[in-house]
Structure 1
């Protein structure tokens, strides 16, 4: 996503709003079956801002938060994606493209972080301290590198952990997320 900024009079701030694939009336058309005890389907509908939110105020909505929720009851539990959209004034979208995680990437994503809430591991007290990994380009928040999540081998069977990276090495160097969807590829749940 490439943004173009223009200077004009400031507009009042618009509160951030949640929107999910469960709010789409035709979301039943986007259900993909998955073989997992906890869920029977994954909703693959695209989650993007509602065009009616803009009205006459202009600007763009970008994704600033994400949730994965479960709707329904057994045996028809459906996994849905919800996104938090924040309004940015005086900007327009110049270029839009869908990104997917590369096949060879082994970096963690927020779905992996979600998997750590379902797993627990016991660490040995006699284990040697782990070696320091090199700092990644996108680790501005963590000067010593991003935290490494504990991966559950059981969830890795169902969750794609590759990360889509866009940064200074990709032209033009500044990217924002404006929409997303869950996908199922090879029996795994991923994010696009």
Structure 2
């Protein structure tokens, strides 16, 4: 499947076993066939966001997405529903757990934690309307990876604030072999508010992504390239960036996992930034060797 890539950019021999363990089908949760396509009853309890006085309402799907004990390799925001007006978060994950991996729920980090640091509350359009909490959501344990996520709407005074909540699991018997990367830019530091946005724009302008070799897509979803975007979504797409943030075998060394994420406001759009980590399982023969 990835023979051409493997020949030209093969991983170091000591990382080969890890690369091969990650050669599994990848799929999105929820898959497109699980999303409601027909008419939906209007739920009074569904939270919503509004960014200007006459602007449309953006409803928020707060249902948790849990992939179980399977590593997550990507995230995306998506507009669901018949009218494409329900904001949701989707997760790309391996179809099964690699044989060498053992995952344990991280009791110290779960869905219920969120940042109340008001410095991270950023407006999308007008400051008197809905805001987004842009604080990074990550674990202090470098061996923790994401296995679940959902969106939450809270209140800051009279303003509504959109939060991202993550569920973490710990990889047992592993070690981090490289510093985590945010969006593939190692220099993107953890900052807040306007400073974060300016830094993000700076690196986006300088570090333009290089063209990647074509990937053989073995996604098991109904629409491997992602659900089609209905015409009705055009009004709300100006507020939501639905770009898929993923890393796969074509991203050397080929076994990145998502270990954190954050919501940001980029040019008036709610966007995602994803933290990727490289974890390798310490095999019995490696225990006596210096790392």
Alignment TM class, shorter chain as reference: 0.5 to 0.7
Which residue is 2:219 aligned to?
140
Moved over 2 A (4+): 12-25, 35-39, 102-105, 136-147
Partner-residue secondary structure (3-state), 2:264: strand
Which residue is 2:260 aligned to?
179
Partner-residue secondary structure (3-state), 2:243: coil
Tell me the number of residue pairs that the alignment of Structure 1 and Structure 2 aligns.
Answer: 147
Q: How far does the alpha carbon of each residue in 1:84-140 deviate from its partner, in whole angstroms, 9 at most, with x for none? A: 11111011111211116x8999xxxxxxxxxxxxxxxxxxxxxxxxxxxxxx64543
Whether 1:98 and 2:182 are equivalent positions in the alignment is yes
Partner-residue secondary structure (3-state), 2:125: coil
Q: How far does the alpha carbon of each residue in 1:1-57 deviate from its partner, in whole angstroms, 9 at most, with x for none? A: xxx89xxxxxx97435554696335x2111111127995211000101244xxxxxx
Mapped contact 2:114–2:165 kept (Cα < 8 A): no
Which residue is 2:135 aligned to?
45
2:172 pairs with one of 74, 85, 89 = 89
With normalisation by structure 2, the TM-score equals 0.42
Which residue is 2:152 aligned to?
69
Partner-residue secondary structure (3-state), 2:241: coil
Which residue is 1:23 aligned to?
114
**d(CA) in 2 for partners of 1:44, 1:31:** 6
Specify whether residues 139 and 22 from structure 1 end up closer, same or farther in structure 2 by C-alpha distance, changes over 3 A only: same
Which protein is richer in helix relative to its size?
2
Specify whether residues 138 and 70 from structure 1 end up closer, same or farther in structure 2 by C-alpha distance, changes over 3 A only: farther
1:181 is displaced (CA, Å) by 0.5
Stretches of structure 1 that go unaligned for 5 or more consecutive residues are 6-11, 52-58, 106-135
Which residue is 2:244 aligned to?
163
Stretches of structure 2 that go unaligned for 5 or more consecutive residues are 1-14, 18-101, 185-203, 210-214, 274-291
Mapped contact 1:40–1:78 kept (Cα < 8 A): yes
Q: Which has the higher mean CA deviation after the structures are superposed, 171-180 or 138-147?
A: 138-147
**d(CA) in 2 for partners of 1:69, 1:138:** 32
Which protein is richer in strand relative to its size?
2
**d(CA) in 1 for partners of 2:257, 2:103:** 19
With normalisation by structure 1, the TM-score equals 0.61
**d(CA) in 2 for partners of 1:32, 1:21:** 21
**d(CA) in 1 for partners of 2:269, 2:112:** 18
Which residue is 1:154 aligned to?
235
